[in-house]
Amino acid sequence: MAPVLVVAAAIVDDLDNPYALLAARRATPASLAGRWEFPGGKVDAGESPVQALHRELREELGVRVTLGDEVVGPDEGAWRLSETYAMRLWFAEVSAGTPEPLVEHDELRWLPRAHWLDVPWLDADVRIVEHLVGARLP
Ligand SMILES: Nc1nc2c([nH]c(=O)n2[C@H]2C[C@H](O)[C@@H](COP(=O)(O)OP(=O)(O)OP(=O)(O)O)O2)c(=O)[nH]1
């Protein structure tokens, strides 16, 4: 069966010169609590992936963002997360508001470039963060 599409953002301090990356710690569900991820969520019926991403970031963090390039993954452009889910990921920069852990998360952290791998990311996210660290940015 086709995977359910999740969209998420690698929010950086500056799209043109990324130094800090925003990681979000999950509070729910219990099976994921304490692990870190890219903020985002599932695309609803009738939404485009980009519309869904803006909605999720507004709901979860209370911010508006400017999107940068997509971080294209190896699985038809996406990043396979599990049997069930595949994720598309975009770089983003906050354009209005200050990110707060409003729902689903209990902590946000701006990780400096040398420390992007220093939190316990969700298992499926580790190779994605490794890819970001290895990539020549921007
Ligand atoms: N948002 C997000 N989800 C991820 C990441 N990595 C990863 O494995 N996942 C998994 C966790 C979930 O099992 C699944 C769906 O994400 P989600 O729970 O954030 O979706 P959602 O906000 O729409 O959730 P809900 O409204 O249905 O509760 O994707 C990631 O970096 N960001």
Residue-wise pLDDT tens digits, 63-72:
999 999 999 9
In the reported structure, the alpha carbon of residue 77 is separated from the centroid of ligand 1 by a whole-number distance in angstroms of 18
CATH code at position 58: 3.90.79.10
Count of structural domains, the chain = 1
Q: What single-letter amino acid sits at 24?
A: A
Give, for ligand 1, the residue of 5, 55, 61, 81 to mutate: max count of ligand atoms closer than 8 Å to Cβ: 81
Identify which of 24, 19, 17 has the alpha carbon closest to the alpha carbon of residue 103: 24
For the CA atoms of 60, 64, 65, 66, the dihedral, rounded to the nearest 10 degrees, stands at 150
Give a yes or no: residue 134 inside a domain. no
Whole domain around residue 8: which residue ranges?
Answer: 4-127
Give a yes or no: residue 111 inside a domain. yes
Nearest residue (by CA) to ligand 1, atom 22, is 41
Residue whose structure tokens are 């870190």: 36
Give a yes or no: residue 55 inside a domain. yes
Give a yes or no: residue 138 inside a domain. no
Task: Determine the distance from the C-alpha atom of residue 44 to the mean position of all C-alpha atoms in its chain, rounded to a whole number.
Answer: 17
Q: In this predicted structure, what is the pLDDT of residue 86? A: 98
Give a yes or no: residue 132 inside a domain. no
Q: Which residues of the chain have pLDDT under 70?
A: 136-138
